């Protein structure tokens, strides 16, 4: 299974499938353009990574997906199941409606009875089959002595069907078969929309997770290396981590020297030295030299996973949130039941004991108030809003995230990797002589270290040519040394050069016996960060910056973005405490962060956003994932979610409005099956149209 993020056209299908099938060992290849994936059947010895590289080389960007993480089959099955029930209900509805039209337009006596019997024969089995999701959910909630939206639905379906049979058997005038089956169809439509929105979000989230195929290079006793899945690594194994790779396990360095980037775990932007005896945690990135690590903890025991405990504690606060739909159901269910029951009792008293008439009126009340529109009110809007957000590059993972996002009045940002790219930029190029810069460029060219790369980019941007050096050698963990016009030159850490370090992200250049000069760096702001902060402030929200990084670096970023409230050197627990303190003040906090150190704070916040570059553990706890590089959509998303919540409320208002008109009619006994059918379809259509008016 490969992911093809850039496939979009018919030519891509032909190109990918055709070229894959010409490869040796590939049996079949099939592109799914909707999911942007390719499923390939191949012989056992064909490596997925090779296929992905091959596709990328011919112009179709491709990544390997870990099939174990994709559980799409279960989701697909239940979605297909819902679609089938909806299809059946739709089929029955059309047939029964045709028969009902005849009854409404004045069929009498034997004809009417015949039509009623035919309707019964069609609708009873179909309601029993298609209504199962509602019956099951209603039963589950009744068993724990609670009322949800499905209880009145199920009750209405069962009562309407039974009273209609009774009426038909007694040649009565009104039968509600059409209403029962129509209700099933509309409600299933709402349920299906809801399910699809969530399935799309879940499959996209799973795909992000499946993109990180966790592999490790295990070194065997005889010195050979093998590539294994991280799950197979045991404590005590030796693992090799090449420069540029993420450390897959917790462990101690046995051999080799390098620098590691801890920014995802702690928020520190300055790389840390790692040599024999140093402890490393899973998730850190090895920068310069190869390291041999003795595994201390792997898989579920790594510090990465232990962070989950902190998250679980923080998350309980969020579970207390009741969605708008639940609030409406809580209000609605008892009200409807009381109404129907009182209608029954009142008519029993008025008609002096005519049970048949009283039940008829009670059922009419139940059907007319039935939450057709209520059932569609939320799914229609969520479908519209998640589609809009997806096009803006935001993946809505939680169903209630929109509602919660709409309430936000305080935004907390993390610095490293969120507001900044985590990529340094040389900022004091003007302080150096052209000669120094030329030497620095020559030294830096040979290294893949981020600071070296930053020097290369900056100096080449100034049009500087590299000096001629010889014997260049990278000393992993320390820097690069070489010989330039007969004197030794070194570029690297302060301690290695014997220079005095300054309190900034910096690297140092020493030429011969001259004192070392410092190259200082600032972190590049992420694209759209300034726009997002400005737009949030314009909407009247407070913005806070909380980072685990050193004070100077945090202050600099806060100053550049115009954030007055910033806190530096915060531990993960401090971040949670800060978010919780804001919530205690009555603020609804939106937390935006990417690091593992933000994870608990993300879970504690009212609603949370993380970029796609974040670790999987972080993406799991956040409600919204930013798919693109830019932060800009955050500004608009709050406005969009406010508009969506407004639409949901309007939809509740509309369905309540229909009820205000229809219920009195039903209560006084004028409701006919025709009136019920009209009220139901009209309200459902208005609600769906209203959802489509969503702006943003």
488 contact partners, CB below 8 Å, separation of at least 6: 481, 482, 512
Is 30 an interacting residue with respect to another protein (CB under 8 A)? yes
Subset of 39-68 contacting another protein (CB under 8 A): 39
Structure tokens belonging to residue 375: 């059932």
Choose, by CB under 8 A, the member of 19, 95, 162, 392 that binds another protein. 95
Query: Which is closer to another protein, CB of 119 or CB of 141?
Result: 119
353 contact partners, CB below 8 Å, separation of at least 6: none
State the catalytic residue, choosing from 66, 150, 194, 414. Answer: 414
Q: How far is the CB of 121 from another protein (least distance, A)?
A: 9
Structure tokens belonging to residue 486: 């007969």
Structure tokens belonging to residue 622: 């956040």
Is 87 an interacting residue with respect to another protein (CB under 8 A)? yes
Cβ atoms of residues 575 and 597 within 8 Å: yes
Choose, by CB under 8 A, the member of 23, 26, 70, 83 that binds another protein. 83
Measured distance CA(54)–CA(5) in Å, rounded: 15
Query: Which is closer to another protein, CB of 98 or CB of 350?
Result: 98
Choose, by CB under 8 A, the member of 21, 32, 470, 487 that binds another protein. 32
484 contact partners, CB below 8 Å, separation of at least 6: 439, 442, 467, 468, 469, 470, 511
Measured distance CA(377)–CA(644) in Å, rounded: 11
Measured distance CA(329)–CA(332) in Å, rounded: 5
Stretch that binds another protein, among 93-101, 207-215, 490-498, 642-650 (CB under 8 A): 93-101
What's the CA angle centered on 394, arms 392 and 574, to 5 degrees? Answer: 135
Is 31 an interacting residue with respect to another protein (CB under 8 A)? yes
Choose, by CB under 8 A, the member of 34, 57, 105, 433 that binds another protein. 34
Q: What is the size of the binding site for another protein (CB under 8 A)?
A: 26
Dihedral of the alpha carbons of 162, 164, 169, 170, in degrees to the nearest 10: 120
Q: How far is the CB of 114 from another protein (least distance, A)?
A: 7
Is 33 an interacting residue with respect to another protein (CB under 8 A)? yes
Measured distance CA(132)–CA(367) in Å, rounded: 18
Q: How far is the CB of 629 from another protein (least distance, A)?
A: 25
Query: Which is closer to another protein, CB of 119 or CB of 690?
Result: 119
Helix, strand, or coil here: 532? helix
Is 414 among the residues known to form the active site?
yes
Query: Which is closer to another protein, CB of 13 or CB of 617?
Result: 13
Query: Which is closer to another protein, CB of 122 or CB of 607?
Result: 122
Stretch that binds another protein, among 85-93, 229-237, 595-603, 665-673 (CB under 8 A): 85-93
Subset of 118-157 contacting another protein (CB under 8 A): 118, 122
Choose, by CB under 8 A, the member of 88, 138, 328, 359 that binds another protein. 88
Is 1 an interacting residue with respect to another protein (CB under 8 A)? no
Stretch that binds another protein, among 80-88, 350-358, 361-369, 377-385 (CB under 8 A): 80-88
Structure tokens belonging to residue 637: 């998303």
Cβ atoms of residues 601 and 412 within 8 Å: yes
Element (H, E) at 216: strand 215-219
Q: How far is the CB of 218 from another protein (least distance, A)?
A: 32
Stretch that binds another protein, among 51-59, 114-122, 129-137, 666-674 (CB under 8 A): 114-122
Nearest Cα to 75, choosing from 189, 205, 209?
A: 205
Measured distance CA(156)–CA(130) in Å, rounded: 14
Measured distance CA(447)–CA(271) in Å, rounded: 15
Nearest Cα to 36, choosing from 70, 12, 71, 69?
A: 12
Q: How far is the CB of 286 from another protein (least distance, A)?
A: 39
Is 345 an interacting residue with respect to another protein (CB under 8 A)? no
Choose, by CB under 8 A, the member of 91, 104, 321, 390 that binds another protein. 91
Cβ atoms of residues 127 and 139 within 8 Å: no
Stretch that binds another protein, among 86-94, 135-143, 151-159, 614-622 (CB under 8 A): 86-94
Cβ count near 2 (within 10 Å): 23
Measured distance CA(502)–CA(499) in Å, rounded: 9
* Pairing, β 589-592 against β 410-413: parallel
Query: Which is closer to another protein, CB of 98 or CB of 220?
Result: 98
Q: How far is the CB of 27 from another protein (least distance, A)?
A: 10
Q: How far is the CB of 437 from another protein (least distance, A)?
A: 51
Cβ atoms of residues 487 and 480 within 8 Å: no
Query: Which is closer to another protein, CB of 81 or CB of 573?
Result: 81
Choose, by CB under 8 A, the member of 58, 67, 71, 84 that binds another protein. 84
Q: Which residues are catalytic?
A: 414
Using CB under 8 A, list all residues that contact another protein: 9-10, 13-14, 28, 30-35, 39, 76, 80, 83-84, 87-88, 91, 94-95, 98, 111, 114, 118, 122
């Amino acid at each position: 299974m490969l992911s093809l993020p850039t496939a979009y056209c018919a030519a891509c299908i032909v190109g990918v499938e055709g070229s894959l099938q010409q490869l040796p060992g590939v049996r079949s290849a099939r592109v799914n353009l909707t999911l942007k994936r390719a499923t390939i059947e191949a012989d056992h010895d064909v490596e997925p990574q090779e296929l992905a590289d091959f596709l990328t080389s011919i112009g179709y960007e491709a990544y390997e997906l870990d099939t174990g993480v994709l559980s799409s089959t279960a989701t697909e099955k239940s979605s297909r199941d819902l679609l089938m029930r909806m299809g059946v209900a739709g089929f029955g509805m059309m047939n029964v409606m045709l028969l009902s039209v005849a009854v409404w337009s004045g069929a009498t006596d034997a004809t009417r009875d015949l039509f009623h019997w035919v309707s019964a024969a069609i609708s009873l089995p179909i309601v029993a089959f298609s209504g199962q999701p509602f019956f099951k959910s209603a039963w589950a909630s009744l068993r724990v002595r609670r009322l949800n939206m499905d209880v009145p639905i199920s009750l209405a379906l069962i009562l309407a069907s039974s009273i209609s049979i009774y009426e038909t058997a007694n040649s009565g005038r009104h039968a509600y078969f059409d209403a029962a089956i129509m209700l099933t169809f509309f409600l299933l439509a709402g349920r299906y929309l809801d399910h699809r929105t969530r399935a799309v979000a879940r499959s996209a989230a799973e795909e992000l997770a499946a993109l990180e195929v966790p592999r490790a290079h295990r070194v065997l006793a005889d010195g050979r290396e093998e590539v294994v899945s991280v799950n197979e690594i045991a404590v005590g194994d030796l693992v090799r981590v090449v420069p540029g790779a993420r450390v897959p396990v917790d462990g101690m360095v046995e051999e080799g020297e390098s620098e590691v980037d801890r920014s995802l775990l702690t928020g520190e932007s300055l790389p840390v030295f790692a040599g024999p005896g140093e402890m490393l945690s899973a998730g850190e990135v090895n920068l310069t030299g190869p390291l041999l690590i003795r595994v201390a903890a792997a898989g579920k025991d790594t510090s990465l996973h232990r962070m989950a405990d902190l998250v679980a504690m923080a998350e309980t606060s969020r579970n207390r949130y009741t969605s708008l739909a639940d609030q409406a159901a809580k209000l609605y269910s008892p009200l409807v039941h009381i109404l129907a029951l009182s209608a029954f009792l009142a008519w029993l008293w008025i008609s002096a004991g005519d049970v048949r008439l009283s039940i008829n009126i009670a059922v009419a009340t139940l059907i007319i108030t039935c939450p057709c529109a209520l059932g569609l009110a939320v799914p229609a809007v969520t479908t519209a809003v998640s589609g809009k957000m997806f096009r803006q590059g935001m993946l809505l993972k939680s169903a209630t995230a929109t509602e919660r996002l709409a309430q936000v009045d305080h935004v907390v940002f993390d610095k490293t990797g969120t507001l900044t790219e985590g990529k340094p930029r040389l900022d004091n190029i003007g302080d150096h002589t052209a000669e120094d810069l030329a030497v620095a460029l020559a030294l830096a060219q040979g290294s893949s270290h981020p600071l070296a790369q930053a020097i290369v980019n900056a100096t080449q941007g100034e049009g500087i040519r590299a000096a001629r050096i010889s014997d260049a050698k990278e000393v992993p963990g320390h820097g690069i040394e070489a010989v330039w016009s007969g004197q030794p030159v070194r570029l690297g850490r302060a301690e290695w050069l014997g220079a005095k370090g300054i309190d900034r992200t910096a690297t140092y250049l020493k030429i011969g016996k001259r004192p070392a000069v410092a190259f200082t760096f600032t972190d590049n702001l992420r694209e759209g960060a300034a726009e997002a902060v400005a737009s949030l402030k314009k909407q009247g929200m407070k913005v806070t910056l909380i980072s685990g990084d050193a004070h100077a670096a945090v202050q600099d970023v806060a100053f550049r973005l115009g954030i007055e409230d910033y806190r530096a050197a915060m531990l993960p627990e401090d971040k949670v405490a800060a978010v919780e303190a804001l919530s205690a003040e009555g603020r609804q906090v939106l937390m935006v962060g990417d690091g593992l150190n933000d994870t608990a704070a993300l879970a504690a916040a009212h609603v949370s956003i993380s970029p796609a570059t974040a670790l999987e553990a972080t993406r799991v706890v956040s409600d919204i994932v930013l798919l693109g590089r830019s932060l800009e959509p955050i500004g608009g998303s709050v406005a969009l979610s406010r508009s969506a919540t407004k639409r949901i409320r309007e939809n509740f208002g509309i369905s309540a409005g229909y009820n205000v008109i229809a219920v009195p009619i039903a209560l006084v006994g004028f409701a006919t099956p025709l009136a019920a059918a009209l009220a139901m379809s009209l309200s459902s259509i208005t609600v769906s149209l209203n959802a489509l008016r969503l702006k943003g």
